[in-house]
């Protein structure tokens, strides 16, 4: 075949290879994590959270979607989603919080705005796993604690539960539909992927978040995790109607019936 006749074919092949490389580079840039894919239900939510400087993962190209969220991490996610507003206060009353913690500004903001009051007058329990009831309540309080007239049909959300109105609001705003079988799963742990998904739905279905927060990123986890010393809590009288304290799943005996998130 004549050389001049081969040139168009060669150019076509080179163009195709360049186009494929461009697609691969673009896809890689769009998704910085190697532990999530477009097939995951939370994929768009995680990429949205990255774009909005809410998270940049846990390091080594990972987002850790199935890792449970602590209360400190959840408050940090929420604060970043709100544009990282600067708190007026410089200290708080919680004795189990280290002042130079990565989440300290987020916590001060949340306390100032009555989004959280801690697990007691002097404790926040930053390392305790966050539950669904707690995070929905945080979101609801961030929205100004609105009241929805429509009731939910969740069989595991009592009408007098502290989080009942928050759940009603979240359902009305299409932030959550529960976990199936007419259940909300209030005491189930919240994972990082669930937090990102709920935040995206709040962004899409309410007007409480700024559209384009442009603040520098920093990791949800500090390079060297800080473990504050938690003061010992005096033992409480045993109540047979309450389950035992199990901090690993975010449910506590004394404050369980009115968990102050």
The answer to whether the CB of 236 falls within 8 A of the CB of 255 is no
What tokens appear for 152 in the block? 């939910």
Helix locations, 92-180, DSSP H: 104-112, 132-142, 164-172
- 47-79 pLDDT tens trace: 999 999 999 899 999 999 999 999 999 999 999
- 199-246 pLDDT tens trace: 999 999 999 998 765 554 444 544 333 333 333 323 333 333 333 333
- DSSP β-bridge partners for residue 251: 246
Q: Please measure the distance between the N-terminal and C-terminal CA atoms of the chain and give it in whole angstroms.
A: 76
Distance CA 249, CA 133 (A): 12
CB-based contacts of 238: which residues, under 8 Å, 6+ apart? none
Looking up tokens 């919680």 gives: 94
**Rounded average pLDDT over 101-114:** 96
Distance CA 120, CA 79 (A): 21
- DSSP β-bridge partners for residue 189: 131
**pTM above threshold 0.85:** no
The answer to whether the CB of 258 falls within 8 A of the CB of 118 is no
Segments making up each domain of the chain, as ranges: 33-130+190-225
As a residue count, the chain comes to 261
- 6-29 pLDDT tens trace: 555 655 554 554 444 443 433 444
């Amino acid at each position: 075949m004549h050389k001049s006749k081969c040139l168009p074919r060669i150019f076509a092949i080179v163009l195709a290879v360049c186009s494929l490389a461009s697609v691969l580079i673009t896809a890689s840039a769009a998704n910085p994590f190697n532990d999530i894919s477009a097939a995951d239900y939370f994929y768009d939510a995680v990429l949205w959270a990255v774009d909005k400087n809410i998270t940049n993962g846990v390091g080594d190209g990972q987002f850790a979607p199935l890792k449970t969220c602590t209360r400190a991490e959840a408050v940090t996610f929420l604060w970043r989603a709100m544009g990282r507003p600067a708190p007026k206060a410089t200290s708080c009353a919680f004795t189990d919080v280290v002042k130079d913690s990565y989440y300290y500004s987020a916590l001060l903001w949340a306390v100032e705005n009555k989004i959280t009051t801690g697990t007691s007058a002097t404790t926040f329990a930053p390392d305790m796993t966050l539950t669904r009831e707690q995070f929905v309540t945080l979101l609801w309080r961030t929205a100004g604690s609105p009241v929805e007239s429509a009731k939910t049909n969740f069989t595991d959300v009592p009408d007098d539960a502290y989080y009942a109105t928050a759940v009603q609001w979240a359902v009305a705003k299409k932030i959550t539909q529960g976990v199936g079988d007419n259940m909300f799963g209030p005491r189930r742990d919240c994972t990082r992927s669930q937090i990102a998904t709920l935040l995206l739905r709040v962004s899409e279905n309410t007007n409480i978040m700024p559209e384009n927060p442009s603040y520098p990123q920093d990791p949800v986890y500090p390079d060297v995790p800080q473990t504050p010393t938690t003061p010992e809590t005096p033992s409480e009288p045993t109540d047979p109607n309450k389950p035992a304290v199990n901090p690993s799943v975010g449910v506590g005996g004394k404050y369980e019936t009115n968990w102050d998130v």
